[in-house]
């Protein structure tokens, strides 16, 4: 029996990443490995660094430093590369669709799992997701019951009240049987737990082996829960 009746997703780091097709040439200039794999890994290394210092949504210095180090930018160039990364990675560049996540959403939809998205974003997230991933209600892609953008509702994670804007779409559901999948310990695990949901960290590179919360390596593990 599945442990969950519904699944909510964070967007950044779970459905999309800062576009490596933009960032790879930017950092290759400083000696960074331009491979997709290296950039995917660098995102989660950055999130780990952010979580280690409990950095809030507006603080990305630790992320930038860890990201450029992870792709192998030359040591002498890291400060300059991190600044350039900071100036280039803005909300509109969080657009590269994680292919395994997109495929997993298809399979969850086939299983009839009620789903939604709760994202700290800048007003753009619903339109961006509608291009290739999902929309509210029936449409070209995966059907979501709700897509919450922090900018539009005026409250952001780690404030758990952001979920008050999603949960009316899951009326009658037991909160503890709604999974919330995110890639940030501070933003997602903290806020999800405080809201009474079942938070799960997407931790594809095993950065948090000591965690006292649930982790998955990919959304395929969620699919297995329902399959």
12 binds Mg ion (CB under 5 A): yes
Interface with Mg ion: number of residues (CB under 5 A): 4
User: Does residue 27 contact residue 85 with C-beta atoms inside 8 Å?
Assistant: yes
User: Does residue 199 contact residue 213 with C-beta atoms inside 8 Å?
Assistant: yes
3-state secondary structure of 94: strand
Closest separation between CB of residue 104 and Mg ion, Å? Answer: 16
Q: Which is nearer to Mg ion, 78 or 157 (CB)?
A: 157
65 binds Mg ion (CB under 5 A): no
Closest separation between CB of residue 1 and Mg ion, Å? Answer: 29
Closest separation between CB of residue 94 and Mg ion, Å? Answer: 9
Closest separation between CB of residue 183 and Mg ion, Å? Answer: 4
13 binds Mg ion (CB under 5 A): yes
Cβ-based neighbours of 161, under 8 Å, separated by 6 or more: 155, 195
User: Cα-flanking dihedrals φ and ψ of residue 28, to 5°?
Assistant: -60, -30
CA distance 225 to 227: 6
3-state secondary structure of 64: helix
Cβ-based neighbours of 65, under 8 Å, separated by 6 or more: 49, 78, 82
- Applying CB under 5 A, the span of 29-37, 71-79, 161-169, 175-183 interacting with Mg ion comes to 175-183
158 binds Mg ion (CB under 5 A): no
Q: Which is nearer to Mg ion, 47 or 68 (CB)?
A: 47
Q: Which is nearer to Mg ion, 16 or 108 (CB)?
A: 16
Q: How is residue 34 written in tokens?
A: 């331009």
192 binds Mg ion (CB under 5 A): no
Q: What is the binding site for Mg ion (CB under 5 A)?
A: 10, 12-13, 183
């Amino acid at each position: 029996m599945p442990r969950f009746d519904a699944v909510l997703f964070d967007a950044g780091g779970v459905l999309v990443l800062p576009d490596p097709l933009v960032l790879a040439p930017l950092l290759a200039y400083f000696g960074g490995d331009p491979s997709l794999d290296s950039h995917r890994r660098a995102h989660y290394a950055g999130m780990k660094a952010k979580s280690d210092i409990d950095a809030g949504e507006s603080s990305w210095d630790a992320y930038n430093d860890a990201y450029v180090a992870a792709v192998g930018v030359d040591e002498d160039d890291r400060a300059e590369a991190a600044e350039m990364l900071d100036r280039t990675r803005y909300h509109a560049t969080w657009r590269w669709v994680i292919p395994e996540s997109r495929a997993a959403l298809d399979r969850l939809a086939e299983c009839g799992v009620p789903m939604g998205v709760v994202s700290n974003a800048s007003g753009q997230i619903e339109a961006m997701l509608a291009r290739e991933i999902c929309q509210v209600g029936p449409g070209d892609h995966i059907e979501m019951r709700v897509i919450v953008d922090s900018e539009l509702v005026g409250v952001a994670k780690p404030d758990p009240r952001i979920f008050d804007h999603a949960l009316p779409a899951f009326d009658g559901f037991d909160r503890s049987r709604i999974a919330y999948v995110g890639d940030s310990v501070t933003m997602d695990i903290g806020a999800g737990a405080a809201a009474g949901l079942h938070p799960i960290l997407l931790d594809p590179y095993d950065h948090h082996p000591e965690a006292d919360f649930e982790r998955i390596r990919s959304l395929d593990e969620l699919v297995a829960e329902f399959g």
